[in-house]
Chain A
Amino acid sequence: KAGVTQTPRYLIKTRGQQVTLSCSPISGHRSVSWYQQTPGQGLQFLFEYFSETQRNKGNFPGRFSGRQFSNSRSEMNVSTLELGDSALYLCASSRGDSGPEAFFGQGTRLTVV
């Protein structure tokens, strides 16, 4: 069974631009969560989608948004990028209906210059 796939692995963007990251969950998993990892703040929860609906949201500004498609693939978008958005963005996949066991992708390393 294939694992969680995140694309791209690396991105370099300029301040003020926007970026879209993609996550394909494990087959059969309906929940996708996004996390931001930085040296200063550690791992922080962004949001969770289940069956195309946002079910949970963390404490991030509205510049951070996401969506989920009918095949459970998810995208997250960050608009008006700031230097502080530089981070490793991790996607986690779980069944979502029973058992909160989450499996993570390799992450997308975003650098904002």
Chain B
Amino acid sequence: DTEVTQTPKHLVMGMTNKKSLKCEQHMGHRAMYWYKQKAKKPPELMFVYSYEKLSINESVPSRFSPECPNSSLLNLHLHALQPEDSALYLCASSQDGAGKGGANVLTFGAGSRLTVL
């Protein structure tokens, strides 16, 4: 079982819907990440939170809105998505805060597979 839990595992939504993806970790990690992965492509970084503050936004469209309520939780709010946003959304965490030196080993959740109709 993965130590990073993501819900829901699958989500189908229309372009006018508002939904949220949730991620939780209890390893005491201080950095949390959202990645987007399309089929046969590597994960693409979307956002990084370090010590509950947004530290990296990879020019993600505003229809994706991240939120970090506390050090264990990370949400991704979705609104007015497009069909091309259909993908696997992966949450990950690492022990050190992003931007610090040293290795940052990522632990991934199992992902939320999103389909936008």
Tell me, yes or no, whether A binds B: no
Measuring CB to CB, which residues of chain A are less than 8 angstroms from any residue of chain B?
none
Give residues in B with beta carbon < 8 Å to A. Answer: none
